[in-house]
């Protein structure tokens, strides 16, 4: 067995099977496990996916939202045990792979058109 095959077989154990199909431009709600003292709770983080990176175990999505007038971006490792759930709330109709141009936009200009041909 080659080294790459061994690595893939080990990674396969840690990959999540029940992830939804996520595309750039989608509005998603990510449930993140937050530890406060000795208690854990799930904190929802809702925003637009502006970038997707890599594949396999190290796949990440960058989610952007505006909180109290300030744009906040957060990168989530999809297969991380800290990410409890990901729900797609609406599909976005975009024509590029990275939506970094949304960083320069303010207010209603940051909206992404909704796409209806893909199921949620």
| Coil, strand or helix at 51 | strand
Range 98-110 average pLDDT: 92
Range 34-62 average pLDDT: 94
Range 44-58 average pLDDT: 93
Assess if CATH 1.10.1740.10 describes domain 3-107. Answer: no
Instruction: Give residues with Cβ within 8 angstroms of 27, minimum separation 6.
Output: 46, 47, 48, 49, 88, 89, 90, 92, 112
Q: Where are the domains of the chain?
A: 3-107
What pLDDT, on the 0 to 100 scale, is given for residue 107?
87
Range 95-111 average pLDDT: 92
Q: Do residues 71 and 103 make contact, with C-beta atoms less than 8 angstroms apart? A: yes
Phi and psi angles of residue 59, each rounded to the nearest 5 degrees, phi first? -70, 130
């Amino acid at each position: 067995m080659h080294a790459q095959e061994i690595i893939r077989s080990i990674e396969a154990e840690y990959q999540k099977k029940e992830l939804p199909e996520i595309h750039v431009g989608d509005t998603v709600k990510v449930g993140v496990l937050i530890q406060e003292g000795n208690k854990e709770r799930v904190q929802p983080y809702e925003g637009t996916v502006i970038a997707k990176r890599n594949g396999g175990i190290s796949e990440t999505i960058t989610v952007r939202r505006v909180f109290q007038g300030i744009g906040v971006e957060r990168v989530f490792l999809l297969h991380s045990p800290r990410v409890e759930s990901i729900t797609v709330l609406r599909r976005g109709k975009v024509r590029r792979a990275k939506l970094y141009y949304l960083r320069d936009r303010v207010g209603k200009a940051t909206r992404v058109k909704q796409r209806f041909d893909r199921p949620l």
